[in-house]
């Protein structure tokens, strides 16, 4: 289990999530893509802690922040989907294009 193996796994998770975030029409599926991307960051943060500086807890703190970000992203995402769906019966990204600033 080298650092490279962990980072390769994290890169694959990030890339798969990026594909989902870019390609999915459903907002909830898009959120799943974002969660996978953060999942990759969790793996990378933990790997850096273990393989680079295990005496400093920085990597663990990054993992903790990433896990929190996942939960917050999901809560806000579902709130936005609920607001959009209630207002316009919309649950796909293509129909929510006018949210652009």
Partner 1 sequence: MQVVAFWVLAVGAVAGGVAVFVVDSMARATFALLVSFLCVGGTLSLIELQYLGVLVVLMMIMEMLIMAVFMIMYMMNPAGLMPMTMVHNPRGAAAVAGSVFAGLAAGVFLTPWPDRRGTPPPDPTRALGEAIMGPKMLVMMVIGVAILATMIASVVLATHRGRYDRHGDELRERRPADPGGGGA
Using CB under 8 A, which residues numbered 25 to 54 contact partner 1? 25-26, 28-29, 32-33, 35-36, 39, 42-43, 46-47, 49-54
CB of 90 to partner 1, least distance (A): 10
Separation between Cα atoms, residue 35 and residue 73, nearest integer Å: 8
Instruction: Enumerate residues 66-85 that contact partner 1 by CB under 8 A.
Output: 67-68, 70-72, 74-76, 78-83, 85
Residue of 97, 98, 100, 101 interacting with partner 1 (CB under 8 A): 98
For 47, residues 6+ apart whose C-beta sits below 8 A from its C-beta are 3, 6, 7, 10, 59
Answer whether 79's CB lies under 8 Å from 41's CB.
Answer: no
């Amino acid at each position: 289990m080298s650092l490279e193996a962990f980072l390769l796994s994290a890169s694959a998770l990030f890339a798969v999530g990026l594909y989902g975030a870019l390609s999915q029409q459903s907002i909830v599926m898009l959120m799943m893509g974002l969660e996978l991307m953060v999942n990759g960051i969790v793996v990378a943060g933990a790997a850096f802690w273990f393989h680079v500086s295990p005496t400093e807890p920085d990597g663990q703190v990054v993992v903790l922040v990433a896990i929190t970000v996942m939960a917050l992203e999901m809560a806000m995402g579902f709130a936005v989907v609920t607001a959009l769906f209630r207002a316009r019966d919309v649950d796909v990204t293509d129909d929510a294009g006018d949210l652009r600033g």
